[in-house]
Structure 1
Amino acid sequence: MIIAFVQMVFLLYFREHSEYIYSCFITINGCNTKERGDMDTLARVMFLLLCHVTSIAKQIVFMVRASRIAKLVQDFDDMAYNPEETTRKNLLIERAQGMSRLGAAYAGTAALTCALWTIFPFLARMGGTRVIFALWVPFAYYSWPEFLIVLMYTHYVTSLVGIANTTMDAFIAGILGQCKTQLTILKMDFESLAERAHERALETGEQVDEAAAALFVRCIKHHHKICDTSREVQAIFGGVVLLQFGIGGWILCMAAYKIVGLSIASLEFVSMVMFLMCILTELFLYCFYGNEVAVESAQVSDAIYGMEWVGPDGVGKEVRQALPFVICCSAGAARRPLRPAALFIPLSLETFVTIIKSSYTFYAMLRQTQR
């Protein structure tokens, strides 16, 4: 019931934004020619509407593919083996705690931005300035009761949009971060395989060769599981992340166009700066953690080669016989490592820079046309 109510509010708000744009920029009645060509008005409406679009798209993905996402989380629980190994356990705990703090800070920034968007219209109204909200409202809100109703409504919905976007972004980034952590654990397992094989042989009474072979097979299965998980992340979220990249560039452009016309001392300027920080963080999270997965994946072959696979304390005959094939495969992985992508666009720092450059180019074109 609560989810249905929230979805209804989201769709209603989206409809009101769309009708506002339609009435101001397509129809002739209700707006004069100057306003229809006013890019400031367009920027004010569009960056909010585009944020709303990305939020709805992500929510659809999370609802339609809920079972696949739940299985994805369960797979990470299954990969969190050997809880008695302190180093590996600490890596997983640190990753989880770090993503929790990141998500809280990210969502808190969005909530604070929405609060500022509520405060400065209220202060403007207190000062006698007429406030026009960037959405279609079916009644006049010149008097205080109606104004407060619209103000609280916009605060509620924009806060929902902001928190929904940030929490879903942090979740997807957290999944990529866990893939990176699992690759780090895999590297440690390869590098310490000989030592662990001897410890296991002493504990279980197995031959060292048998213990090493069992641990080696376990590492190979772990690597396959990480690869499958990475591909599943791309299959589930690739489309919506690609949409985020495309729309995120437009949002940055529209927000930058809006912010240059504001007074630095105003609350609206501060709120827009925080909004830009949220959008930049949103894009950077995907690109940074996708890049980390690719870098860590490329280092797996180095970890295999760095094993103590020769000498009396080596990994054993069976593992040594399999090493040429494994190193050959891992060398191919080094040339083509795991590279999470938004369908066909890699999640990398180069992609982040490209989005920023494209946004600035379009912003410069808009400024040029207004001269």
Structure 2
Amino acid sequence: MVFKFLKRLEDPNNPLLGPTVSALRNGGLWQKDRVKSFFYISVHFVAFLFVISQYIELWIIRENLEMAMRNLSLTMLSTVCVFKACNLVFWQDSWKEILDYVSDTEKSQLLKKDEKITNIILDYIKYARRVTYFYWCLVTATVFTVILAPLLIYWTSPTYRESVKNGTAPYPEIMSAWIPIDRTRGIGYCIATLYQIFVTFYGGLVVANFDSTAIVIMTFFTGQLKVLSVNCENLFGDGNEPVSYDEAVKRIKDCHLHHLYMMKFSSQLNDLLSPVMFLYVIICSLMICASAVQLTTEGTGTMQRIWIAEYLMALIAQLFLYCWHSNDVLYMSMQVDDGVYSSAWWSQNVRIRRSLLLLGGQLRSTITFTAGPFTMLDMATFVAILKGSYSYYTLLSQKED
């Protein structure tokens, strides 16, 4: 049943992006119909109001460090979710341009039926599917963990159950957010819980769609750089086949345009991702720190530790996937010009060799993804964020002691 569902997500018009495009449309992040657009925009607005209520609650409970840490870890993640949703909705034309370029490029290459190129494309499509489905499972597990954690804590803690029954403790809540009615008991609690469940599913949907889309497109650029490197190696075959001047210039021009379009659309993708990743890098450092503080607090119960550990793992995995795939693109873009010098350039005349030198110079331009104007998204940044989070954790631990 699962495989049938996944197979339905495939789209011959979008060889790489079939599941991604389907998820964006069904998730309400891309809509053309006015009625549906109004409904989904209303959903986004309701989620935005919820984030505001989380910050109001954070101000109210600011004196209680433990409650503030728990509120902060989820409030910051909610902020990033809303920011990602706005990015997809308001700049969907730019996203669609990139996705159209990805699909058109792959379809034109697959039509040529070159075995090497086809194998490269199929390999990175298979890899992208694995990453996408793994990430969707991770987000789904995180969503259900966040929703079910308060209930599990209630069931596994007799002391807490007794406190709830005698009215000295509030009912367990999924997230800490202010509402203008009493949310600790009765109808107010039911309304708050349903609202929080809705927002949790909404946040999981946005995160799964945005992150998988960005990561899959990064995988595309890595794969296409490999394709370009192979095309450069095969510019003149093995050196023994006759290649006319016009044909040689055409092949060089095709490689140049291939790289030029990749530079253009990777820059466009970076313009979309960079503000989001700048916010996420800052927030992720604080979220990892806050989760680590909660994990090592003496008063934290066993089930709560499990919830925090799973949440912390999801945060680190999310950041790791961005940095890893961005690092792959950077590394491959630094190696792609080797294909020019691995070709049978020696079989060509001086005019062609000069053109090859110009192509080699063009291919030295690297593709980079950044988090704002301050840092690149690579493994060095990932390690630096973990170190910074540990430093914040040490500082907070000493202050608490």
TM-score (norm 2): 0.79
- Hey, what does 1:6 align to over in structure 2? 43
- Hey, what does 2:393 align to over in structure 1? 363
CA distance in 2, matches of 1:144, 1:185: 62
CA distance in 1, matches of 2:68, 2:391: 18
CA distance in 1, matches of 2:193, 2:200: 11
- Hey, what does 1:58 align to over in structure 2? 84
Change (3 A) 1:75 1:194: same
Change (3 A) 1:322 1:261: same
Change (3 A) 1:148 1:293: same
Compute the displacement of 1:354 (Å): 0.8
- Are the aligned partners of 1:197 and 1:212 in contact in 2 as well (CA < 8 Å)? no
Compute the displacement of 1:317 (Å): 5.9
AA in 1 matched with 2:396: L
Identity %: 19
- Are the aligned partners of 2:152 and 2:303 in contact in 1 as well (CA < 8 Å)? no
Matched, 1:326 2:359: yes
1:193 partner SS: coil
Compute the displacement of 1:258 (Å): 1.3
| Equivalent of residue 82 in structure 1, options 83, 86, 109 | 109
- Hey, what does 2:132 align to over in structure 1? 103
- Hey, what does 1:220 align to over in structure 2? 256
Change (3 A) 1:196 1:67: farther
| Equivalent of residue 49 in structure 1, options 75, 80, 98 | 75
- Hey, what does 2:369 align to over in structure 1? 340
CA distance in 1, matches of 2:336, 2:48: 46
- Hey, what does 2:379 align to over in structure 1? 349
1:20 partner SS: helix
- Are the aligned partners of 1:116 and 1:268 in contact in 2 as well (CA < 8 Å)? no
Compute the displacement of 1:197 (Å): 9.4
Compute the displacement of 1:124 (Å): 4.3
| Equivalent of residue 170 in structure 1, options 205, 212, 237 | 212
Compute the displacement of 1:172 (Å): 1.1
- Are the aligned partners of 2:291 and 2:312 in contact in 1 as well (CA < 8 Å)? yes
- Are the aligned partners of 1:191 and 1:304 in contact in 2 as well (CA < 8 Å)? yes
- Are the aligned partners of 2:153 and 2:303 in contact in 1 as well (CA < 8 Å)? no
- Hey, what does 1:185 align to over in structure 2? 227
> Unpaired segments of 5 or more residues in structure 2?
1-37, 156-160
Compute the displacement of 1:67 (Å): 0.6
Change (3 A) 1:113 1:144: farther
1:181 partner SS: helix
Change (3 A) 1:43 1:210: same
Per-residue CA deviations over 1:314-361 (Å, capped at 9, x if unaligned) read 35665224223333454xx2xx62222223211111111111111110
- Hey, what does 2:285 align to over in structure 1? 249
- Hey, what does 1:204 align to over in structure 2? none
2:337 partner SS: helix
Compute the displacement of 1:152 (Å): 3.3
Per-residue CA deviations over 1:5-53 (Å, capped at 9, x if unaligned) read 321321231122122112222xxxxxxxxxx1x3211110001100011
TM-score (norm 1): 0.85
CA distance in 1, matches of 2:338, 2:149: 56
Per-residue CA deviations over 1:40-69 (Å, capped at 9, x if unaligned) read 111100011000111111111112211111
CA distance in 2, matches of 1:115, 1:215: 52
Compute the displacement of 1:162 (Å): 2.5
2:328 partner SS: helix
CA distance in 1, matches of 2:298, 2:181: 28
CA distance in 1, matches of 2:210, 2:218: 13
Matched, 1:232 2:268: yes
Matched, 1:300 2:336: yes
Change (3 A) 1:46 1:264: closer
- Are the aligned partners of 1:114 and 1:158 in contact in 2 as well (CA < 8 Å)? yes
CA distance in 2, matches of 1:261, 1:369: 13
Per-residue CA deviations over 1:89-129 (Å, capped at 9, x if unaligned) read 23223323332332232232222222223323224445344
Change (3 A) 1:307 1:262: farther
CA distance in 2, matches of 1:362, 1:211: 60
How many pairs were matched up? 347
When structure 1 is superposed on structure 2, of 276-285 and 138-147 the one drifting more is 138-147
Change (3 A) 1:265 1:43: closer
CA RMSD of aligned residues (A): 2.5
CA distance in 1, matches of 2:190, 2:256: 61
